[in-house]
Structure 1
């Protein structure tokens, strides 16, 4: 079993050393890295990861908190803690860690951890084409966002619409507005099959939040419930997207669409 692993440590020299040692392991096919929990979650949502080798003390979400988040995934990666602190082993195994390694790392000890990861995975093989890991229960993606040094998790199903801000995107959700370092084009492609539609080069909307379409002169506006509230925002729809948007709205059960569209047409 050739593993795809993710190394996470907020100290660059330690991260480089961990990635180097993992890459030397015969059973490791790919090594990806992240300097904090936010980027680790982004990697986990971008690609299949079999095991995560994780420091405990990190800014934002700690390693233990990140491991707790992973327990809610339908197909969680195996977790191995790599730390200089001996006193957190009990907490580590309470969140389901496969192994607990102390720094400085020894290659033979790391090899034992790899063997334990493989043994743990043999009982529950993963689909080889799985490219993103979703939380269990609702099966919905979570997006890590940072505000004033605090990392929060925003569920995709809480997002009403997204706007492009250069190479960033601003998520408008039930928890507020959040700027993330992900291009709108990436989110549009990733969420196309999860109820989102790109109505304009600058806007992506959640179809369940659409309450109607309104014509204003030669332009068409889509009415979107703002952050799950009763208020709505109106966003422009490009001409080339209008037909597909209407088709998707007809296919998807929009309870409020017909009444709201009729009301808008009478304004």
Structure 2
């Protein structure tokens, strides 16, 4: 079970997040704090696995709390929950596991809890690889591991996540080389897929494809052998 602390200077926001977390079977004890100073007092006597912090709290902000607990020998995992996108880069420089925007979406929170559970099993929180994107005149930071697949659009590439898509001025071939070690594989001249997000694969000769986020992404004849090879490498086999 994952024990957490929720801190926000708006009590309704605390209760909403605590309610949503309480619906997740993976979450155990939920501590609540309605100010940054109260959060620090709780952290002085308890050791939650993860803390969900509002950034803009009076006197002691969520960023202040994250800096304070980062000096611990075994700090809890940090998730920022805020209506402000401007602090995303600083948040991830503090090794935040995630950065959730208000109003909260239950699906996003579920993914975050899953990420926390995975990191706790692995024993640590590696720094997230961040991607800078532009959308509607606003510059945003998104996690690379949230990108499910990439689609070529001329000299540009469209990055597809579960919640939105973003156009970046980078050719697909460049991303293929840069992201190969991160589990991205070329399935077609127009598509790059993150293997971790693939939910189904059809390798029949009459239109092979992979399913990612409910979308069918084609596998070309040229790339089919490479896809088969990568799949065989992940197959579970009996011990010799």
| TM-score calculated relative to the size of structure 1 | 0.45
Describe the SS at the equivalent of 2:9.
Answer: coil
Alignment of 1:3 onto 2:18: no
Name the structure 1 match of 2:98: 99
- Which one has more relative contact order, counting CA pairs under 8 Å at least 6 apart? 1
Larger Rg: 1
The Cα of 1:32 is off from its aligned counterpart by 0.8
Alignment of 1:57 onto 2:56: yes
1:89-136 Cα offsets, whole Å, 9 max, x none, are 1110000100000001111110111111112222228xxxxxxxxxxx
Over 2 Å off, 4+ runs:
none
The Cα of 1:65 is off from its aligned counterpart by 1.3
CA distance in 2, matches of 1:38, 1:85: 21
CA distance in 2, matches of 1:75, 1:11: 28
Describe the SS at the equivalent of 1:64.
Answer: helix
CA distance in 2, matches of 1:119, 1:67: 20
- State how 1:28-47 maps to structure 2 within 5 Å: 28-47=27-46
Describe the SS at the equivalent of 1:32.
Answer: strand
Name the structure 1 match of 2:185: none
CA distance in 2, matches of 1:24, 1:117: 16
The Cα of 1:68 is off from its aligned counterpart by 0.8
Unpaired stretches in structure 1, ≥5 consecutive residues? 126-267
Name the structure 1 match of 2:175: none
1:201-243 Cα offsets, whole Å, 9 max, x none, are xxxxxxxxxxxxxxxxxxxxxxxxxxxxxxxxxxxxxxxxxxx
Name the structure 2 match of 1:191: none
Name the structure 1 match of 2:79: 80
RMSD over aligned Cα, in angstroms? 1.1
CA distance in 2, matches of 1:76, 1:50: 8
CA distance in 1, matches of 2:33, 2:80: 14
Name the structure 2 match of 1:189: none
| TM-score calculated relative to the size of structure 2 | 0.50
Name the structure 2 match of 1:186: none
- State how 1:75-224 maps to structure 2 within 5 Å: 75-124=74-123
The Cα of 1:15 is off from its aligned counterpart by 1.0
Describe the SS at the equivalent of 2:86.
Answer: helix
The Cα of 1:30 is off from its aligned counterpart by 1.2
Describe the SS at the equivalent of 2:79.
Answer: strand
CA distance in 2, matches of 1:14, 1:124: 30
CA distance in 1, matches of 2:35, 2:119: 25
CA distance in 2, matches of 1:70, 1:105: 25
1:170-220 Cα offsets, whole Å, 9 max, x none, are xxxxxxxxxxxxxxxxxxxxxxxxxxxxxxxxxxxxxxxxxxxxxxxxxxx
The Cα of 1:81 is off from its aligned counterpart by 0.4
Describe the SS at the equivalent of 1:86.
Answer: coil
CA distance in 2, matches of 1:81, 1:105: 12
Describe the SS at the equivalent of 1:81.
Answer: strand
CA distance in 1, matches of 2:66, 2:35: 13
Q: How many residues were matched structurally? A: 124
